[in-house]
Structure 1
Amino acid sequence: MKTMVILLILASVSGVISQTDMACKAFIFAKNYSLPAQLMYDGDGPNFTFTVCLRACANLTESVMFSLISGLLYDHLFLILGSGPDSNTGLIWVEGQRVDVNFPAQNRRPWRSICLSWDSLNGEMALWVNGKICEQRAYPIRGMYYQTPTIYLGPGQIFLGGKPKLEVGQVTDVHVWDKVLTSKEITDFQKRRGTAGNVVNWRALHYKRSDGDFTVGNFKCKA
């Protein structure tokens, strides 16, 4: 845990900020690419609640992590997308508590639509996969306030102390809202007709990167 936080801090120290319409594009993480992208936003960001939605290849060979960190405390949440032989498994940390999840194995799409919501005021977490609830948990209500959190997207193996895989993992259509989306809004995202995130918008993305940390290319998932 501490090593992961230190790496994220190092990733935020240097780098250049880019802005682009990322429609049909993806962040591609491969061997020797170690640092994540820092997703930038205006304002205070999600203070009590948020939803993140993204699409990723179902047969990833490199896991991908989304993380939200407030200060240097362990009050962060992140989602590890399964990779290789473990492509149907995932891992979420909710304010220091681990949740293991299983993605639907019957899905035959080469990609997955994934949404994760967290409501700190009500202590509710929900994971949606391809428009359907995959995991739902209730936690003691703490009303945790996130003070201008930092948002990262990067290769998961690096932060778990492992080595990057030989091949690549891809993620696209990353959006973040400062609210919990309704079931209809989740379905709309899954069907590519939803509204863009008001915190992070993939179609007008601001992000910080270091040289050589990942590449940007067309989103292509192998069936």
Structure 2
Amino acid sequence: MMKGLVSFFFLLAGCHQAAGAVNTKTILLFPEATSTNYVSLKPTEKVLHQITVCLRSYTDLTREHSLFSLATPNKDNAFLIYFSPPNNISISINNEDIFIKVDPDVYYWKKTCVTWDSTNGLLQLWINNKRYPRRVTKTRSPIGPQMSVVLGQEQDSYGGGFDINQSFLGEMCDVNMWDSVLPETSVRVILTDQFSLTGNIYNWNDENFQVHGPILVLKDQYI
């Protein structure tokens, strides 16, 4: 009985710690539109048969812009999250573009999660705890193994080919990436901040990113 109580209190403490961890964050501030400033991630060199990407963004841009761009040597849009305000988003998988109508943009922190499964092509999109109609891609090819992952720019070539008119201007944080399709219960936990879940391929808490250009890294920020 005592052992069970001890385990319970450790679990409870862990939950409180995880809940508190989401109060302050490391935020990337993209201060200007350019074709040169970006942030690069080095998450993995393994083949991805499934993928989940979640992130937060905050912008008042009224033009199209890229949030998350994953390119391979043969596919510049191997996995792309691309917004076209006020109410359009395109998700690209292996250069196949899927267009989805979403609720009109509003100027507050936006939480976005995308999952994709190469076995059946199932693509799922959540924004601010709302899941949009699921789609099925034609492509069944896995992603990788070589990858260039960029935040704030859209790659028209492997690691480059940026366009100022597609650049991100604003704030971004909590970028996490998994090599699996997270269940909906886990996605909703992420979107509602019940506690922190971090990616096994890319973990935002590790701060394993490289800044290119005058992008500010703001630590211990409340949002």
TM-score normalized with structure 2 length: 0.72
Give, as a single letter, the amino acid of the residue that structure 2 aligns with 1:90.
I
> Would you say the 8 A contact 1:119–1:180 is kept in 2?
yes
Shift of 1:181: 0.8
Whole-angstrom CA distance in 2 between matches of 1:117 and 1:179: 8
- 1:176 corresponds to which residue? 177
Whole-angstrom CA distance in 2 between matches of 1:140 and 1:31: 34
- 1:76 corresponds to which residue? 78
Secondary structure at 1:203 match in 2? helix
Segments of structure 1 that go 5 or more residues without pairing to the other structure are 1-22
Secondary structure at 1:155 match in 2? coil
- Which of 117, 120, 123 is the aligned partner of 1:119? 117
Give, as a single letter, the amino acid of the residue that structure 2 aligns with 1:68.
L
Alignment of 1:212-223 (within 5 A): 212-217=213-218
TM-score normalized with structure 1 length: 0.72
- 2:192 corresponds to which residue? 191
Greater CA deviation, 119-128 or 32-41? 32-41
Give, as a single letter, the amino acid of the residue that structure 1 aligns with 2:27.
A
Shift of 1:75: 6.0
- Which of 35, 38, 44 is the aligned partner of 1:36? 38
Shift of 1:157: 10
Alignment of 1:1-223 (within 5 A): 23-29=24-30, 30-32=32-34, 34-41=36-43, 43-45=44-46, 47-57=48-58, 59-60=60-61, 63-74=65-76, 76-82=78-84, 86-105=85-104, 110-140=108-138, 142-156=140-154, 161-163=163-165, 168-192=169-193, 193-210=195-212, 212-217=213-218
> Would you say the 8 A contact 1:65–1:79 is kept in 2?
yes
Give the count of matched residue pairs.
Answer: 192
Secondary structure at 2:190 match in 1? helix
Whole-angstrom CA distance in 1 between matches of 2:186 and 2:60: 26
Identity of aligned residues (%): 22
Whole-angstrom CA distance in 2 between matches of 1:46 and 1:87: 34
Root-mean-square deviation over aligned CA pairs: 3.1
Greater CA deviation, 43-52 or 121-130? 43-52
Secondary structure at 2:197 match in 1? coil
Q: Which has the larger radius of gyration?
A: 2
Secondary structure at 2:99 match in 1? strand
Greater CA deviation, 152-161 or 131-140? 152-161
Whole-angstrom CA distance in 2 between matches of 1:205 and 1:45: 20
> Would you say the 8 A contact 1:47–1:148 is kept in 2?
no
Whole-angstrom CA distance in 1 between matches of 2:70 and 2:113: 14
Shift of 1:109: 7.0
Secondary structure at 2:135 match in 1? strand
